[in-house]
């Protein structure tokens, strides 16, 4: 039997506290020698893209594939297919829109845990789309945030987002009118946009700032300018092989000879303890998030286990369709 889980099932089974633990585990598994993470594959057609990414972990006992299609006239649809590592059985199919949203936020939370100052209280968020909420939730779960400033080009969007944050996180939130106002005196900056041009000037970043660049998982996107990249004392990403084909923030300056790939570290090395993260409170640290299949894997494995325990979801006999 295959357990089918819909969006409401996922949301009920995967609170941010659980997502952060699953994300931490994903980075630790990635640093090991047994788990495998394959970068995203994008298949382009005239008006649409089909994307898939895969990961496996004998330690976890599962492997998975996430697929999603993007069409110019429809919203993306995301699914995770979870398989038993021991026998190859398809044990679960999950609607994965919320899963991806939550685990993307959790990954920024883990980066914040290992790279930001422990006493960080001021958070700036540039971008107010559907991914932005979980960014704020995860970071507020990691650090003692007392003030959040938000910026979006849309006045209505930033006001609506600020109101939601105050109501749901019980943290003072100020919508501001410019990126410059947003990042002023910030301890942590998170960008979660699809911008093709830098969203703030790196010359304005103060020493000690940590930056999560969470929206630029395409070579044509550019959330950060050269100053931000070059002024960062420690640059990390979730997967260098994936960043080489997707991370416009890094590809652009590296292609122009301003930086080299050996300057970039995988966050998993820091999470596992094989490399040192932040060394002092004056360093500027950067995390470039692309989104990994192994993060989907640990999330899906956790959700599946909880669903079985809680008897949530619908069991379907896939074999009857053969």
Q: Per-residue pLDDT tens for 160-209?
A: 999 999 999 999 999 999 999 999 999 999 999 999 999 999 999 999 99
Among 145, 219, 151, 230, CA closest to 187: 145
Query: How do beta strands 172-175 and 74-84 pair?
Result: unpaired
**pLDDT-above-90 percentage for the chain:** 91
Q: How confident is the model at residue 321 (pLDDT cuts 50, 70, 90)?
A: low
Q: Where in the chain is the domain with CATH 3.40.50.720?
A: 104-291
Query: How do beta strands 62-71 and 48-57 pair?
Result: antiparallel
The yes-or-no verdict on residue 72 having pLDDT over 80 is no
The answer to whether the beta carbons of residues 211 and 285 sit under 8 Å apart is yes
The yes-or-no verdict on residue 149 having pLDDT over 80 is yes
Burial group, residue 320, by CB count within 10 angstroms (0-12, 13-18, 19+): exposed
SS3 98: helix
CATH node for 104-291: 3.40.50.720
Per-residue confidence (pLDDT) for residue 162, from 0 to 100: 97
The yes-or-no verdict on residue 320 having pLDDT over 80 is no
Burial group, residue 69, by CB count within 10 angstroms (0-12, 13-18, 19+): middle
CATH node for 2-100+294-321: 3.30.1780.10
The yes-or-no verdict on residue 73 having pLDDT over 80 is no
Q: Where in the chain is the domain with CATH 3.30.1780.10?
A: 2-100+294-321
Query: How do beta strands 74-84 and 90-95 pair?
Result: antiparallel
DSSP letter assigned to residue 283:
-
Contacts for 318 with CB less than 8 Å, ≥ 6 apart: 1, 2, 90
The yes-or-no verdict on residue 322 having pLDDT over 70 is no
Residues 256-314: pLDDT tens digits? 999 999 999 999 999 999 999 999 999 999 999 999 999 999 999 999 999 999 999 99
Per-residue confidence (pLDDT) for residue 34, from 0 to 100: 94
**pLDDT-above-70 percentage for the chain:** 99
């Amino acid at each position: 039997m295959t357990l089918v889980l819909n969006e409401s099932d996922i949301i009920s089974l995967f609170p941010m506290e659980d997502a952060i633990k699953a994300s931490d585990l994903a980075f630790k598994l990635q640093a090991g020698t047994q788990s495998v993470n394959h970068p995203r594959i994008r298949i382009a057609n005239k008006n649409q893209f089909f994307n898939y990414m895969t990961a496996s972990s004998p330690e976890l006992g599962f492997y998975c594939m996430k697929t999603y299609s993007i069409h110019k006239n429809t919203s993306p649809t995301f699914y995770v297919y979870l398989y038993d590592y021991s026998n190859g059985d398809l044990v679960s199919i999950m609607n994965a829109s919320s899963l991806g949203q939550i685990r993307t936020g959790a990954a920024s939370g883990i980066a914040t845990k290992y790279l930001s100052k422990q006493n960080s209280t001021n958070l700036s968020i540039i971008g107010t789309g559907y991914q932005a909420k979980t960014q704020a939730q995860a970071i507020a779960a990691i650090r003692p945030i007392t003030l959040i400033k938000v910026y979006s080009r849309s006045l209505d969007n930033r006001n609506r987002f600020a109101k939601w944050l105050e109501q749901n996180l019980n943290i003072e939130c100020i919508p501001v009118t410019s990126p410059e106002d947003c990042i002023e005196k910030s301890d942590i900056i998170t960008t979660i946009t699809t911008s093709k041009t830098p969203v703030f000037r790196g010359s304005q970043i103060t020493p000690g700032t940590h930056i999560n660049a969470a929206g630029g998982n395409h070579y044509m996107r550019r959330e950060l300018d050269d100053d931000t990249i070059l002024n960062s004392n420690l640059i990390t990403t979730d997967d260098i092989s994936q960043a080489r084909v997707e991370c416009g923030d890094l590809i652009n300056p590296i292609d122009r000879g301003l930086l080299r790939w050996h300057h970039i570290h995988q966050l998993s090395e820091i999470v596992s303890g094989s490399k040192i993260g932040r060394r002092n409170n004056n360093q500027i640290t950067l995390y470039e998030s692309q989104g990994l299949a192994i993060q989907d894997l640990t999330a899906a494995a956790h959700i599946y286990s909880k669903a079985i325990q809680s008897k949530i979801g619908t069991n379907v006999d896939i074999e009857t369709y053969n």
